[in-house]
């Protein structure tokens, strides 16, 4: 594809391409190695401005003897970096959407941190600590949370990097997490709010999961879910008509999305993915009980709430999301959880006994005390339950 892409399309895939060649060169067949050589040579000849723009983020081929001549050309484009800039570029690579690029960047970061202990210690005790230290810590924490339970090597490398950075004085170095949030005040009864929620869900949750996962099964379910949300929220129609008539507000919202999100979503505006009907297995309450894993509990409760939409608009957007709950990645279920709980508790059409069992489920989690002889796995699970306990408590108090 890169042989035929325009410049603005090449830069999206450049880091991923270099990572793939670097990582899988030892297992490439001769034909694949030759194609890789031809590709990088083509990029240096025909897309040199793009390569120069991203050269600081591209891994070295110095360990690949067959690419020594290409590495010589790449080395001439690389300028010496001060420590601050080197850390900055590594932090940016850690935020990359592709898990492989993140993994390779973390491996380099571990090595670089080991060599730059003096710089970190000098920064920590100086009058004005280098801001890159806080940015690096935030990047590592976000990455560890993003890949928790999904890629153990990435999580381990994040922990190793944090250990090399060491303990920081919170009064002098702040690493505040930026959070994007959306509040649904109509309980999914207002079409405009539902469309806003669909936009947020697509850009902040589904697109990020789609580009970071290596699970083809989850990618298939995400493809279907994104296609259906775009269609059912009238976003596809608005984009096809480019904001004509009544679709203008939706089209303006589409244009305000990041370019990377638009590029990922655009194919799903015209795609035609279909899935067989999902077999609905009854979920028995209480779901929470001693020994049940956090992931199992979160998936079952979220899925059951998705199957109880209280408004026509909720019915439209909840149904395609059900497939995403059973997969290994918990991020989608955890995002939807508070919205679904409030939707069930405040829903006017739900039978009182169904509302009661959900409320009792939340009380069961809050009231449970871990036994002294609990295993390590149970204690780790309890920490995850505690992370949602504040949300649960606020929900219960508001009812």
pLDDT at 392: 63
- Higher-confidence position of 223 and 98: 223
User: Is pTM beyond 0.75 here?
Assistant: no
List, for residues 19-57, the tens digit of each pLDDT value: 899 889 999 999 999 999 999 999 998 888 888 988 888
Calpha distance 315→309 (Å, rounded): 5
Residue 54 Cα distances to 58, 121, 264, angstroms: 7, 29, 21
pLDDT at 11: 78
List, for residues 79-126, the tens digit of each pLDDT value: 888 888 888 889 888 888 788 889 989 999 999 999 988 888 787 667
* Residue 173 within any structural domain of the chain: no
pLDDT, mean over the chain: 85
Instruction: Indicate whether 347 pLDDT > 90.
Output: no
pLDDT at 312: 92
Indicate if 146 and 235 belong to the same structural domain. no
pLDDT at 370: 82
Indicate if 298 and 353 belong to the same structural domain. yes
Helix (H, G, I), strand (E, B) or coil at 236: helix
Residue where one domain finishes, among candidates 77, 108, 124: 77
Indicate if 159 and 204 belong to the same structural domain. no
* Residue 170 within any structural domain of the chain: no
The residue whose two tokens read 């959070």 is 179
Q: Residue 174's pLDDT band (boundaries 50, 70, 90)?
A: low
Q: Which of 179-183, 228-232, 335-339 has the lowest mean pLDDT?
A: 179-183
The residue whose two tokens read 């395609």 is 320
Indicate if 210 and 280 belong to the same structural domain. no
Q: Residue 176's pLDDT band (boundaries 50, 70, 90)?
A: low
Indicate if 249 and 271 belong to the same structural domain. yes
* Residue 63 within any structural domain of the chain: yes
Indicate if 57 and 46 belong to the same structural domain. yes
* Residue 151 within any structural domain of the chain: yes
* Residue 2 within any structural domain of the chain: no
Closest CA to 230 of 192, 199, 207, 191: 199
The rounded percent of the chain whose pLDDT value lies above 90 is 30
Contacts of 53 by beta carbon, 8 Å cutoff, 6+ apart: 11
Q: Residue 171's pLDDT band (boundaries 50, 70, 90)?
A: low
Closest CA to 239 of 290, 199, 187: 199
Calpha distance 196→193 (Å, rounded): 5
- Bin 166: left if φ > 0, else alpha if -120 < ψ < 50, else beta: left
Indicate if 257 and 289 belong to the same structural domain. no
* Residue 172 within any structural domain of the chain: no
Instruction: Indicate whether 212 pLDDT > 70.
Output: yes
pLDDT at 38: 93
Indicate if 118 and 187 belong to the same structural domain. no
pLDDT at 195: 93
pLDDT at 395: 55
Indicate if 71 and 100 belong to the same structural domain. no
Angle between helices 352-367 and 294-306 (to 10 degrees): 160
Closest CA to 146 of 218, 201, 202, 205: 205
Indicate if 241 and 281 belong to the same structural domain. no
Length of the chain: 399
Sequence-separated contacts (24+) of 296-301 with Cβ below 8 Å = 297/365, 297/385, 298/330, 298/333, 298/334, 298/337, 298/388, 299/325, 299/326, 299/330, 299/333, 301/337, 301/358, 301/361
pLDDT at 161: 92
Sign of the CA dihedral with 187 first, then 193, 194, and 196 last: negative
- Higher-confidence position of 305 and 369: 305
* Residue 53 within any structural domain of the chain: yes
Instruction: Indicate whether 172 pLDDT > 80.
Output: no
Sign of the CA dihedral with 49 first, then 52, 55, and 61 last: positive
Angle between helices 352-367 and 331-346 (to 10 degrees): 130
Indicate if 70 and 97 belong to the same structural domain. no
* Residue 67 within any structural domain of the chain: yes
Indicate if 358 and 282 belong to the same structural domain. yes
pLDDT at 177: 61
Instruction: Indicate whether 289 pLDDT > 60.
Output: yes
Q: Residue 293's pLDDT band (boundaries 50, 70, 90)?
A: confident
Residue where one domain finishes, among candidates 110, 131, 165: 165
**Segments forming the whole domain that contains residue 34:** 7-77
Query: Other CB atoms closer than 10 Å to residue 210's CB: what's the count?
Result: 20
Residue where one domain finishes, among candidates 140, 165, 190: 165
Query: Domains in the chain: how many in total?
Result: 4
Q: Which of 123-132, 231-240, 279-288, 304-313 has the lowest mean pLDDT?
A: 123-132
Q: Residue 377's pLDDT band (boundaries 50, 70, 90)?
A: confident
Instruction: Indicate whether 396 pLDDT > 60.
Output: no
The answer to whether the peptide bond before residue 286 is cis (omega within 30 degrees of 0) is: yes
Q: Residue 8's pLDDT band (boundaries 50, 70, 90)?
A: low
């Amino acid at each position: 594809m890169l042989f035929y892409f325009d410049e603005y399309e090449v830069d999206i895939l450049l880091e991923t391409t270099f990572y793939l060649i670097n990582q899988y060169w030892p297992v490439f067949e001769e034909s694949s190695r030759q194609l890789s050589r031809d590709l990088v040579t083509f990029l240096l000849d025909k897309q040199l401005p793009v390569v120069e723009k991203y050269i600081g983020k591209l891994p070295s081929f110095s360990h690949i003897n067959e690419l020594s001549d290409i590495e010589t050309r790449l080395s001439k484009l690389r300028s010496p970096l001060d420590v601050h800039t080197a850390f900055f570029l590594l932090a940016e690579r850690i935020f990359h959407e592709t898990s492989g690029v993140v993994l390779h960047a973390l491996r380099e970061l571990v090595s670089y941190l080991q060599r730059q202990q003096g710089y970190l210690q000098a920064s920590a005790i100086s009058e004005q600590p280098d801001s890159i230290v806080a940015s690096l810590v935030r990047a590592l924490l976000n990455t560890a949370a993003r890949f928790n339970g999904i890629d153990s090597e990435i999580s381990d490398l994040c922990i190793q990097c944090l250990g090399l950075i060491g303990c920081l004085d919170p009064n002098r170095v702040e690493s505040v997490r930026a959070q994007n949030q959306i509040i649904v005040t109509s309980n999914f009864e207002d079409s405009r709010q539902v469309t806003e929620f669909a936009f947020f869900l697509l850009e902040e949750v589904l697109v990020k999961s789609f580009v970071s996962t290596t699970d083809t099964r989850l990618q298939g379910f995400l493809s279907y879910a994104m296609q259906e949300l775009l269609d059912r929220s009238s976003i596809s129609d608005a984009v096809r008509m480019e904001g004509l008539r009544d679709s203008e507000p939706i089209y303006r919202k589409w244009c305000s999305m990041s370019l990377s999100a638009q590029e990922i979503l655009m194919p799903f505006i015209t795609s035609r993915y279909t899935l067989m009907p999902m077999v609905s297995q009854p979920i028995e309450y209480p779901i929470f009980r001693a020994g049940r894993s956090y992931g199992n509990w979160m998936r079952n409760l979220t899925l059951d709430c998705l199957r109880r939409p209280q408004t026509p608009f909720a019915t439209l957007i909840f149904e395609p999301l059900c497939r995403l709950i059973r997969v290994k990645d918990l991020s989608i279920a955890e995002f939807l959880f508070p919205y679904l709980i409030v939707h069930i508790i405040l829903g006017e059409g739900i039978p009182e006994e169904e509302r009661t069992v959900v409320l009792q489920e939340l009380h069961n989690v809050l009231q449970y005390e871990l036994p002294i002889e609990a295993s390590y796995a149970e204690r780790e699970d309890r920490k995850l339950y505690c992370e949602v306990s504040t949300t649960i408590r606020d929900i219960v108090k508001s009812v």
